[in-house]
Structure 1
Amino acid sequence: MRRLVMIFIAFLLLFVPAAAAQAHPVGTTGMLVEIEGDRMGLTLQLQLDQLNKYPGLDLAAGDPIPAGTIEQLVNDRVAITAGGEAGATEITGVAHGIVNDRDAVVVAMTAVSPTGSGPFTVKSSLMTDVIDGHKVYVSRVVEGEEAELLGVITATQQTLEVDAHSQKAGLGEMIAHGMHHIADGYDHLLFLAVLLLSAPLVAVRTGAGWRWSQHKAGLGPSMKRILAIVTAFTIGHSVTLLVVSLGWFTPPVRYVETFVALSIAVAAWNLVRPMFAHGEVMLAGLFGLVHGMAFATTILEMNLNLTDTLVAVLGFNIGIELAQLLGVLLVVPLIHVAANGKHYGTFCRGLAAFGVVASAAWVAGIWTDTDSALTPLFDGVAANPLLSYVVFIGAMLLLGYTGGRTPGNRAAEPEAKPKSKADALTAAK
């Protein structure tokens, strides 16, 4: 069994380069709009490391900006119309900047409505055409400050209509945004998956420490464990999501992403060898605090006022929980079926090995700003959710109904009391 795990790790190390995918590769772009009469000002905040995804670009802070190249990128991918007719657009500035503590290129442009008034329709594929899951936050500038989120442009939703009186994004949009965010968060999903896989297992204390028993928990105890895991994670990330989003604490993003990646390795080790009874619940709560900080960076990038931040935090949190609940309903019954097969332990060790490698790869990518062969793998899963789920169903059923069945939940039963000498003699007779 150990040889199988070592072969699996060696295979991954062979095909995954040292500089690997980032934990949060999707990034964001800020698009600020300011409308006055028939004229709209548009400011694009392009994070430098994300902009460099375009072939031929390798910019660093302070480097001379190839203004012509940047202008061509923007003109080819951003179109502004009014009344169905193209507006007269002009790029008025391209410069280095700092956006949310990250190096960026800031592009300013104007558009004039051919009809003499709005509303304007913005269509953009900038950044979303090279980074799967990339989001463009479109905000209205009010009294010189970026204060009202109007909507989000993505690869599948490239257009947004805006005018001076457009309704700002509400609770419903934030709920949907939270659900999409957790679905795109490969690191968050892998962390939860590794924790949930241990729910049917029973930890027993041995002379060498805690070990997983060959006996499995019944569906009832397993569901209670899963509920405890999800609840602990929810409490943890809810606390830091609120604290960081309100600006009470500002953690360094790179360190937060590093700890998120490392949490997967810790959870993977617990899946192979339990740290203590119900350790996965404690891990979910503890690392939920770290994952909440990562969630909060998304809200911080929206640069909302206090009221809108509170609405965003509430909606974003609800969206995350709804996505988690949906995931539990779709995944947990299948995990319990798979756990009854004799090869479930081998599967868990293999996935744990993958989790450790993915964790190390993400950490390397975070500190080197590079990608790896893991990125297409995760992007492929995200791009084909139905097919991925069908494959998952097949794998779980195959594990559960091949190779025989494991014993029931005898490990969770109370141990029999030692017999007295008199009882032993009576039993012998």
Structure 2
Amino acid sequence: MKRRLMSIFVLPLLCLVASGNLSAHTLSDSYLNLSLDQQSVSGHWLIAVEDLELAIGLDGNADSAITWGEISQHRSQIREYAASRLTMASDGQPCSLEIGTLMIEQLNAGPFVHLPITGLCNGVAEVTLSYSLMFDIDSAHRGILSLRSNDETYVRVFSPDTATYEIDTELPSDAEYLWTFFIEGIWHIWIGLDHILFLLALLVAIVLVKTPGATGQQQPANVPFSTYFYDVIKVVTAFTIAHSITLILATLEVVSLPGRFVESVIALSVAISGINILYPLFRTRAWQFAFIFGLIHGFGFAGVLGDLALPQQLLFGSLLSFNIGVEVGQIAIVLVLVPILALLGRATFSRRLALGTAGLVITVFGVLWLLERSLSLSVPVLS
């Protein structure tokens, strides 16, 4: 009885957990760029319009479209909210920070409010920054800091667990930023729900549906892992190589694609991979499918680094560290999912019901994401 229940419920539950919610806004980042020159501070802060809508409410007429007029009407609240979530001190003394006239800037992730920042400090040898934007609303939010002083650039990432940084600007910029982007690479694939669901659907179609080399027959119970090991390796490797290629090309600005197109095609890949569980579309060519759509998924990963506008001297190291982090995070996902799917494969009763439910859940999420992203049904846009 336990195996029957596991077969019917666990796989659909995995899909629901992996997909989380229907929002296309799976990443929440702000970008804080500051320069220190003797006692003066200058720079800007980019905060997503969608995040500000969640934090203070911008959509006055509730039509799901944030206009410049609505942003302008809330400019005082936006400045007050931002100012209350960022503090800076130097040598133990608070710095005076002022937020100027806000503007709108379009990034890969969507529209952002551009907040100019100026200020004065007693000194800039030892700087302490504390950041708490969105942490009480979205624990997945990250604040990405790029601080320039004495021809050195210090990159840090604020999170609920690390909301304060102390930076000694008289010391050379160390390799901490490499570790920072390594962790960010892991984090961004773990919260990249569409990437996870795409990978999950491919693994389901390999481990549970067919025996490698078979001619379309249902996979028997207790199939040894070695029988589908190479298929799993081929799919994961193809996906890795593909998204690494486009991540590098897009970050270096060799190739560029519109953000809405990229996100829509990623959603389409989820929908098609879900249909493949229900009906064999490409089960004998899974690795080719993973490679083709992996190229598009790479553009999705690249949006994070592209929006940062990192200095040239940090670009290569950050790109390499971020990509390694993505791969490590992906390997961790595969190491968790494949054994679970293998255990489910032993529960033969009602397997068709379990697979049908899983395929349907993945397909529905993919289609809804596609509609949401391609038609902007619920994503705030500037009109």
User: How would you bin the TM-score normalised by the shorter chain?
Assistant: 0.7 to 0.9
1:157 aligns with 2:158: no
Cα 1:286/1:212, change in 2 over 3 Å: farther
1:140 maps to a residue whose letter is: L
How far the C-alpha of 1:241 sits from its partner, in A, is 0.8
CA distance in 1, matches of 2:178, 2:254: 22
Aligned to 1:415: none
Aligned to 2:270: 264
Cα 1:65/1:167, change in 2 over 3 Å: farther
Aligned to 2:179: 172
CA distance in 2, matches of 1:97, 1:260: 24
Aligned to 1:234: 240
How far the C-alpha of 1:215 sits from its partner, in A, is 2.3
How far the C-alpha of 1:211 sits from its partner, in A, is 4.1
2:51 maps to a residue whose letter is: Q
Identity %, equivalent residues: 24
Aligned to 1:39: 40
How far the C-alpha of 1:163 sits from its partner, in A, is 5.5
How far the C-alpha of 1:333 sits from its partner, in A, is 1.8
The unaligned stretches of length 5 or more in structure 1 are 1-7, 9-19, 372-429
CA distance in 1, matches of 2:337, 2:38: 52
Does the CA-based 8 Å contact 2:153-2:173 persist in structure 1?
Answer: no
Q: Deviations over 1:12-40 (max 9, x none)?
A: xxxxxxxx833343232110111012232
CA distance in 2, matches of 1:300, 1:140: 17
CA distance in 1, matches of 2:56, 2:154: 31
Query: Residues 13-24 of structure 1: matches in 2 within 5 Å?
Result: 21-24=22-25
The farther-off stretch of 31-40 and 362-371 is 362-371
Aligned to 1:215: 220
SS at match of 1:52: helix
Cα 1:251/1:124, change in 2 over 3 Å: same
CA distance in 1, matches of 2:311, 2:103: 26
The unaligned stretches of length 5 or more in structure 2 are 1-8, 10-20, 60-65
CA distance in 1, matches of 2:149, 2:95: 23
How far the C-alpha of 1:143 sits from its partner, in A, is 10
CA distance in 1, matches of 2:109, 2:219: 50
How far the C-alpha of 1:148 sits from its partner, in A, is 4.0
Aligned residues, how many? 349
How far the C-alpha of 1:61 sits from its partner, in A, is 3.4
Aligned to 1:224: 230
1:153 maps to a residue whose letter is: F
Does the CA-based 8 Å contact 1:26-1:131 persist in structure 2?
Answer: no
Q: Deviations over 1:39-60 (max 9, x none)?
A: 3224111222332222431242
CA distance in 2, matches of 1:124, 1:352: 41
Aligned to 2:141: 134
Does the CA-based 8 Å contact 1:29-1:47 persist in structure 2?
Answer: yes
CA distance in 2, matches of 1:95, 1:300: 20
SS at match of 2:308: coil
Query: Residues 140-151 of structure 1: matches in 2 within 5 Å?
Result: 140-141=147-148, 148=153, 150-151=155-156
Q: 1:303 aligns with which of 295, 309, 330?
A: 309
Q: Deviations over 1:315-342 (max 9, x none)?
A: 1121111112222222212211211211
- Which is higher, the Rg of structure 1 or of structure 2? 1
Q: 2:358 aligns with which of 351, 367, 372?
A: 351
Query: Larger relative contact order (C-alpha < 8 A, sep ≥ 6)?
Result: 2
Aligned to 2:89: 81
Aligned to 2:259: 253
How far the C-alpha of 1:369 sits from its partner, in A, is 5.7
2:355 maps to a residue whose letter is: C
1:300 maps to a residue whose letter is: G
1:94 maps to a residue whose letter is: L
Aligned to 1:318: 324
Aligned to 1:292: 298
The farther-off stretch of 261-270 and 274-283 is 274-283
Q: What CA RMSD, in Å, does the superposition of the two structures yield over aligned residues? A: 3.0
CA distance in 2, matches of 1:100, 1:357: 26
How far the C-alpha of 1:193 sits from its partner, in A, is 0.8
Cα 1:131/1:60, change in 2 over 3 Å: farther
Aligned to 1:56: 57
SS at match of 2:281: coil
1:37 maps to a residue whose letter is: Q
Q: Deviations over 1:74-98 (max 9, x none)?
A: 1221111223443223223323334
